Structures are given as C-alpha cells and as structure tokens.
Amino acid sequence: MTLSEETKHYIVEKLSSLTPIFARASIGDFSQDIDIPDEDDGFMELYAGIQVMLDVIRQKIAILEEEVTERKKIDERLQHVLDNMIEGFQIIDFDWRYLYVNTAVTLQTQKLKEDLLGHTMMELYPDIEKTELFTYLKRTMEQRSAHQMENEFVFPDGHTGWFELRIEPITEGIFILSLDITQRKKQQEELQRIVSIVESTEDAVIGKDLNGIITNWNPAAERLYGYSQQEAVGKPITIIFPPDKKEEFESIMSRIRKGEKIDHFETKRIAKEGKVIDVSVTVSPIKDGKDVIIGASSIGRNITDSKKAERTLRESEEHFRALVNATSSVIYRMSPDWSEMRELQGKKFLANTGEPLRNWLEKYIHPKDQQHVMSVINEAIKTKSIFQLEHQVKQADGTLGWTFSRAIPILNNEGEIVEWFGAASDITERKKQEEELSRLAAIVESSDDAIIGKTLDGIITTWNKGAENLYGYTEEEIVGKPNNMLIPQDRSNEWSEFIDKISKGETIKNFETVRLHKDGRSIDVSITFSPIKDGSGTITGCSAIVRDITERKKIDSMKNEFVALASHQLKTPLTSIKWYSELLLKHHDQHLSEKQKEYLHEIHKSNKRMIYLINSLLNVSRIDLGTFIVSPVPSQLTQIIDEVLEEFAVQITEHNMHVEKQYDHNVPTILLDANVMRIIVSNLILNAIRYSIDHGVITIQISKDDQRVHIAIKDNGIGIPLGEREKIFKKFSRADNAMMQNTDGSGLGLYMVKSLVDQTGGTVIFTSEENKGTEFVVSFPLSGMKEKIGTRQLH
C-alpha cells in the first residue's frame, strides 16, 4: 500500500473524530520526538564523544531501525483499524477508480475487494451517474468541496440501503466514509408509525418521569384535558388530578416504580377549565435500554359519556321498572348463580316474592320443565350472556301458563356477575294461539282434501298430504313450482279469471273442474279458492281446497240414472190411470152417475198432481246435480206467462180467483229458456193460488227499467210469517201457516224458483205481510238468461 504521509495524517486526523480510541493510539505513535544529545569534551571527551557518537549513531540506527519497525507496525495497525471499522472507507481516484476499500465497504456493497479495486464506479454501478449521490461525488471531485448526507442507495440487484455519507476531496481523488444506517432508518420509521398512532389516537397518551413531570403529551391529551403540549410538558402530572385524588398519584407511582402496570383504572381527572372528567387509565412503566424504569406512560380514555349513561340508567331504573312493568307481567332479580330469587314482582300472573326465595324453581316452574330451564340458565351463567327462554310456569291462580323470560347479568368492574335482572312476559295466550295454529296445521296436514297455498303468481307454497294423495306429487317435487302443472291445457284460462277475483278479496266456492294427476290422468275436482292475507290485510296469495269428486261424479251419474228410471216406472202406471180416467169421462159419462163422475174427476186430478210431483222431484234432482240445460232463445215473456195462466185456468176458477194482468208492452223480446221460465212462473202462480183466500186476486205485473225486466206475482193471501221468511227457499221447507192452509205442497216449488233464477243470472226477492199477501219479484237482465250447458231438460 502506498499512501502519502500527508494522506496518512489526514486519515488519522479524520479517524480521530470517528473512532477516538484507535485514533489516539496512532497519534501518540506519530508525535514521538527523537532527542539527539549534544556532547564534545577533549579526547577522552572526543573518544568518549566518539563512543557517545557511536552510541548516538547506534542509538540513531537503533532508533531508525525501530522507526522502520514502528512504521511497519503503524501501517499494520492502520490497516487493522481500517478493516475493523464499521464505517466503510473508500478512496476513489480522479478516473473514478477504486483506489482503496476497507472491509466494511465490501460488506456494504457485498463485493470482494478484488471486484472493486482498479475498477471504475461506472463499471460497477452503470446507473450511478443518474443518482443524486453522484452529483455530490462529482462536485467533490471537481470543486474539492466536502459533503455530508444521508442517502438511500439502490443496488443493481434492487435491494436498498440507507447510508450516512461523508465525502471529502483528498490528493488521490475523493474519500468516502459510509455508515450503514438501514436498520436505524427502519426503527425510525417504526417509531414514526407509533408516534403517528399516538398522535392520532383518541386516547390521551401521556409520558412522565418518575417524579411525575410530564414528558410527552399527545393531541388527544390536549383535547381531553385542555392543556396544549407546550403548556403540559415539564409540568407535574398532578395538574390534571382533582384535589381529592392527589393521593392517587403516589400510589400509582409507587406501583410503577415496582414495575407494575395499572390496567383500566377508572378514576376522575380535572381539565384545565376545571371540568371533572371520568376516565379509564392504563399506566405502564417506561424502561430504558438497560431495563431501568425511568418514567411512566399513561393512556387515558374519556368515559364520561358511558358513565353518564350508566348514571342515567341508575337514576331511571325506576322508570325502567315502570316500563318493564307495563310491558311484562313479571320482573325478578336473581343471585349470580340463580340459587336464590331475590325478588319477584309477579303482578297477577305469578305470585309475588318479597323475601329471598331459594325454592323458586319448585314454586314457579313445572317439574317437567325444571331441568331444561336450569340447563339454559347454567349456560347463561357460564357465558355471562343474556338468558332467554320460553317455558311453562305455575301461575298465581295455580294453573299452568307460558312465559317468555329474559334476564341480563349485571357485571361489576371486575366483570363478575353481581345479579341477574329479569323480565318475564305472560305469553299464555300466544302459546294457546300457537297451539291452535299447530292444531290447525295438523288438521291441514292430515286433511283428506288437498290444501294448497300459492302466491298470486301461482307458485305453490304449501302442499299437504291430501294434495300429495290427490295429485301424486310430493311436497318436495311441487313447492316452488307453478300451479299450471296441475291445470289441463284447455282450462288454463280458469286460473287467470280466478286470480282476478282473488286479488279483489273474493272467494270462489266449490268450483267444479278438472285437474291433472302426476301420471297424466284427469281428476274431477271441486275447488274452493280463498285469498290469503298477511297481518296488514294485504292479499299475498291464494289457498285452494281441492276435493276429489270423481267418486261423487260417479255416484251422481248413478243417482241420475236411478231417478230417470224410477220416474219412468212410476209414470207408466200414472199415465195409465190418467188415460183410462179420461177415456171413462169422455166415452162413458152417459153411463155414470154424477157421484161417479165426481169421483173420476178426483182420481184424474190427484193423478195429475202425482205426475206434477214426480216431475218436480226430477227437476230438483237435475237442479241439484247441475245437469239441467238452459238454452235461452228470444222469447216473449207475456206469452210464456199467459200459457202458464192457461194451464192453471181451471184451478183459478175453482178457487173463485181473479187474475189482474199489468203488462208493460214495451218489454222487449229477451233471451229466455221457456221451459225454465215456465217452471219459475208456474210455481209462483201455483203458490199464489194455493195460499190465497177465497175470491182472491193475483196481480201479475211485467215491467222493465234501464237494466232489467221484472215479473211481479202478487197475491192477497195468507202471507209468510216473519219467522219463516228465512227458510222459504230451502228444500222441503214449508211455512207453518202454509201447511195448515194446503197439504198438497211439496216444499220444492220455491226451492226450484230460487235455484233456477240464481243459476240463470236472475234475482228473486219477496215482500210479505201475514194475512195480507205476498209479492215475489223475479228479475232478469235485459240480456236475458245465462246459457247453461247440461245434459237434461227440465219439465
């Protein structure tokens, strides 16, 4: 190594400022003076002098020799020092070549000395000329100025390091002293982050020394206590202690000195303007690098608001109790482990307990529920969470009721349960309803009828066992699917018609139609559709109760056949009687006495009545089965009525009655089934005759208004008693006074009238006064009777 003396001195000088111990030793070595004696005293003195000279020379030689050794030693020592420095030390010549690097440089750059020495900086760091660092290096090289800086250096492999650098000009070029401060930078950054957290936290963070002098004071502390950082730092922490809490300071500090931490200690502090603040404070000792406690940090949290809320709660406990009282039947307090009931105000629901009660379980809870109740309680105790349960209770009146009981654990500062506060409501009624509901659900489930719920869009939502049996689909298969799966193609319009009505809140009862089984076959069904309403009354869906009427249809058909056959069999002998009595009266009356003729007439009349009755029964059967045909054609109402009156002419005469016709001849021709109309009118006229008084009057009025035609048939007969009016249209029903007056009635006439009018789109009403008379008014729209498809005609 060849370094100029000047450089060596320079290095030593610089090093002295950096690594004082090594540098001092070096300086001592270099500053040693060489002292040569000056002696000349005669021959002897000369000899002696020569000896001395020789000695001196020897000494000089020795000194020189020593000096050389010493120099070597110094070089070695310098080398050692340089290589053991933590600072990097490098000399760059004017051509930017590395002239010298110490070991620290090789560590910092992760390159071998050989890789560096003799090479230029640009070779090793191609991008170096673009860096800020290089501008300083260049400036030092050219302007011979010194610089000191912190620099983040990006190595070619991408890793970065932070360095503290001193760059100085020297005779060989420039000298760079570099210290790796990457770790320190990281720590600084970490610290910065912590500082920013402390600065930004809503908790007041305060540092103080062991004498309680404030050393740190964050913005939250400023906000909480009102003192600025400048005001607080340097002051004793006791400035924020209320007068009555001053002794707290000593107890806190003595614990801190022992190295203890004080966690979430709730106390009071006083702000600058004198306001007392509830705070929760955590105080921790601050230790220096040697683990010596040098102060304390405290983190304070304002709990004034929550404290206030707590206090308010306490203050309003009476209000709260009043509220609970109003909303719940029962309030109670339990010991932490529920072994003791401290109090129970049961109102009238449960019996009160003023004194602590240990056997509360036996007193209030039904034996079969006790175990369950206790297991839920124990779980709540274990988890310190709310207890809530619906269970049966023995009510004050001794009967069993249901309660919904809730209890919250009251915790102390240590988080231990001190008491349970509970409220229980009487849900006996609700439970009863639920039971009722579940019974209903069970009924639905077990019903033979298919009970189906669906949305207004026809999506099936409920499906009971009956539905499964009827349609073949299981609940899993069909719920969520559209109900058109069940409707035959040719009846697909039905649903949209129904849903219009359902949406308006209407119910469709016993609608007979056809539905599809899963296996594709048709099923004759009778369906009642009803709207499903939610709690607010909004229609949310539709229920359908579907009954399989395939069997009934078969039976109906058989019944029909039977009725037809039976009536035929009955009618044949009646026809025979009718014809022979006619033949007798017609061809042999000259051989008969008046009495015989009278008897024959009676036979003929009764026989006719019998035939009429059979026809009526046949009609009723067809009305009931819905098999009768209504095929309206344009008809003159007056003509039909006159024809009926003609049929009854004999009877009217026999009863000495008078018919008054009040026909409005503006009544147009309307669509009527003459057969049906005849049955309606003849039954009403027959009644007017039967229940008339002698010399009675039957008034028949035909009229129209804007929308309807009216046929009013009025008599001045016995009238319908008030109590009988409800049932006059019922099958086989006859009013008491009607039975007295006339035993002929079958109780079918008005039933037929009502049924036929209803099923053909008309209405029938009546007004009546006993012993004054009755008026029936049958009305049809101007459009006439509704057509009805069927298989049978009526008589």
Partner 1 sequence: MEKTGRILIIEDEQSLLTAMEDELSAQGYTVSVAHNGEEGLHAAINQKPDLIILDILMPKLNGMAMLKKLRGDEEYGKTAKVIVLTNLEADDKMVSDVVETQPTYYLIKSDVNIDGIAEKVKEVLEGN
Alpha carbon of 662 to those of 648, 702, 711: distances in Å?
A: 18, 6, 10
Please say which residue, 582 or 758, places its beta carbon nearer to partner 1.
582
Helix (H, G, I), strand (E, B) or coil at 345: strand
Could you tell me the smallest distance in angstroms from the CB atom of residue 622 to partner 1?
A: 10
Q: Which of these segments, 12-20, 318-326, 332-340, 567-575, binds partner 1 (CB under 8 A)? A: 567-575
Please say which residue, 399 or 572, places its beta carbon nearer to partner 1.
572
Terminal Cα-to-Cα distance of the chain (whole angstroms): 144
Please say which residue, 270 or 600, places its beta carbon nearer to partner 1.
600
Helix axes 674-690, 749-759, angle to 10 degrees: 150
Name, in order, each residue with C-beta under 8 angstroms of 614's C-beta and a sequence gap of 6 or more. 567, 570, 571, 574
Please say which residue, 225 or 628, places its beta carbon nearer to partner 1.
628
Q: Determine the residue type at 385.
A: S
Could you tell me the smallest distance in angstroms from the CB atom of residue 712 to partner 1?
A: 29
**Cross-strand bridge partners of residue 169:** 174
Could you tell me the smallest distance in angstroms from the CB atom of residue 646 to partner 1?
A: 15
Binding of partner 1 by 586 (CB under 8 A): yes
Please say which residue, 403 or 675, places its beta carbon nearer to partner 1.
675
Q: Which of these segments, 461-469, 482-490, 578-586, 737-745, binds partner 1 (CB under 8 A)? A: 578-586
Please say which residue, 650 or 739, places its beta carbon nearer to partner 1.
650
Site string for partner 1, 587-616 (x = CB under 8 A): x-----------------------x--xx-
Could you tell me the smallest distance in angstroms from the CB atom of residue 579 to partner 1?
A: 4
Please say which residue, 579 or 732, places its beta carbon nearer to partner 1.
579
Spatial separation of the C-alpha atoms in residues 99 and 77, rounded to whole Å: 19
Closest C-alpha to 749, from 770, 769, 764, 768: 764
> Which two three-digit tokens encode residue 498?
């129904």
Backbone angles phi, psi at 618, to 5 degrees: -65, -45
Name, in order, each residue with C-beta under 8 angstroms of 627's C-beta and a sequence gap of 6 or more. 560, 790, 791, 792
**Residues 351-370 within binding reach of partner 1 (CB under 8 A):** none
Could you tell me the smallest distance in angstroms from the CB atom of residue 434 to partner 1?
A: 55
Please say which residue, 567 or 779, places its beta carbon nearer to partner 1.
567
Please say which residue, 539 or 574, places its beta carbon nearer to partner 1.
574
Q: Please pick, from the candidates 26, 216, 280, 567, the single residue that binds partner 1 as defined by CB under 8 A.
A: 567
Q: Please pick, from the candidates 255, 431, 578, 708, the single residue that binds partner 1 as defined by CB under 8 A.
A: 578
Alpha carbon of 84 to those of 102, 105, 109, 691: distances in Å?
A: 8, 11, 16, 142
Token look-up 């660092």 returns: 133
Q: Please pick, from the candidates 77, 571, 725, 786, the single residue that binds partner 1 as defined by CB under 8 A.
A: 571
| Size of the chain, expressed as the number of residues it contains | 795
Could you tell me the smallest distance in angstroms from the CB atom of residue 657 to partner 1?
A: 24
* C-alpha triplet 301, 307, 309: angle, nearest 5°: 130
**Residues 21-60 within binding reach of partner 1 (CB under 8 A):** none
Q: Please pick, from the candidates 47, 94, 562, 579, the single residue that binds partner 1 as defined by CB under 8 A.
A: 579
Name, in order, each residue with C-beta under 8 angstroms of 411's C-beta and a sequence gap of 6 or more. 384, 417, 418
Site string for partner 1, 698-737 (x = CB under 8 A): ----------------------------------------
Please say which residue, 407 or 623, places its beta carbon nearer to partner 1.
623
Could you tell me the smallest distance in angstroms from the CB atom of residue 615 to partner 1?
A: 8
Spatial separation of the C-alpha atoms in residues 170 and 94, rounded to whole Å: 10
Please say which residue, 561 or 664, places its beta carbon nearer to partner 1.
561
Helix (H, G, I), strand (E, B) or coil at 599: helix
Backbone angles phi, psi at 488, to 5 degrees: -65, 150
Q: Please pick, from the candidates 576, 656, 669, 707, the single residue that binds partner 1 as defined by CB under 8 A.
A: 576
User: How many positions of this chain bind partner 1 (CB under 8 A)?
Assistant: 24
CB 719 within 8 A of CB 773: yes
Please say which residue, 454 or 792, places its beta carbon nearer to partner 1.
792
Please say which residue, 621 or 692, places its beta carbon nearer to partner 1.
621
Site string for partner 1, 526-565 (x = CB under 8 A): --------------------------------------x-
Please say which residue, 550 or 560, places its beta carbon nearer to partner 1.
560
Name, in order, each residue with C-beta under 8 angstroms of 649's C-beta and a sequence gap of 6 or more. none
Q: Which of these segments, 62-70, 387-395, 566-574, 633-641, binds partner 1 (CB under 8 A)? A: 566-574
Q: Which of these segments, 234-242, 285-293, 395-403, 570-578, binds partner 1 (CB under 8 A)? A: 570-578
Could you tell me the smallest distance in angstroms from the CB atom of residue 771 to partner 1?
A: 37
> Which two three-digit tokens encode residue 9?
């001195």
Q: Transcribe 609-670 into DSSP letters.
A: HHHHHHHHHHHHHHHHHT-B-B--EEE-HHHHHHHHHHHTHHHHHHTT-EEEEEE-TTPPPE
Three-state secondary structure of 399-436: CEEEEEEEEEEEECCCCCEEEEEEEEEECHHHHHHHHH
Spatial separation of the C-alpha atoms in residues 68 and 62, rounded to whole Å: 10
Q: Please pick, from the candidates 46, 68, 400, 583, the single residue that binds partner 1 as defined by CB under 8 A.
A: 583
Q: Transcribe 519-571 into DSSP letters.
A: TS-EEEEEEEEEEEE-TTS-EEEEEEEEEE-HHHHHHHHHHHHHHHHHHHHHH
Q: Which of these segments, 49-57, 440-448, 634-642, 785-793, binds partner 1 (CB under 8 A)? A: 785-793
Read off the DSSP letter of residue 779.
E
Q: Please pick, from the candidates 413, 572, 590, 653, the single residue that binds partner 1 as defined by CB under 8 A.
A: 572
Q: Which of these segments, 167-175, 318-326, 512-520, 787-795, binds partner 1 (CB under 8 A)? A: 787-795
CB 709 within 8 A of CB 669: no
Please say which residue, 239 or 574, places its beta carbon nearer to partner 1.
574
Q: Please pick, from the candidates 316, 575, 639, 707, the single residue that binds partner 1 as defined by CB under 8 A.
A: 575
Could you tell me the smallest distance in angstroms from the CB atom of residue 629 to partner 1?
A: 7
Spatial separation of the C-alpha atoms in residues 61 and 594, rounded to whole Å: 199
Please say which residue, 351 or 617, places its beta carbon nearer to partner 1.
617
Q: Which of these segments, 59-67, 106-114, 130-138, 577-585, binds partner 1 (CB under 8 A)? A: 577-585
Alpha carbon of 18 to those of 24, 86, 131, 137, 180: distances in Å?
A: 11, 10, 27, 21, 14
Could you tell me the smallest distance in angstroms from the CB atom of residue 611 to partner 1?
A: 5
CB 700 within 8 A of CB 730: no
Please say which residue, 616 or 716, places its beta carbon nearer to partner 1.
616
CB 336 within 8 A of CB 381: yes
**Residues 620-679 within binding reach of partner 1 (CB under 8 A):** 629
Please say which residue, 301 or 792, places its beta carbon nearer to partner 1.
792
Q: Please pick, from the candidates 268, 580, 635, 708, the single residue that binds partner 1 as defined by CB under 8 A.
A: 580
Tell me what percent of the chain is helix, strand and coil, each rounded to the nearest 5. 45, 25, 25
Could you tell me the smallest distance in angstroms from the CB atom of residue 469 to partner 1?
A: 32
Could you tell me the smallest distance in angstroms from the CB atom of residue 454 to partner 1?
A: 39
Helix (H) or strand (E) holding 781: strand 773-781
Residues near partner 1, by CB under 8 A: 564, 567-568, 571-576, 578-580, 582-583, 586-587, 611, 614-615, 629, 791-793, 795
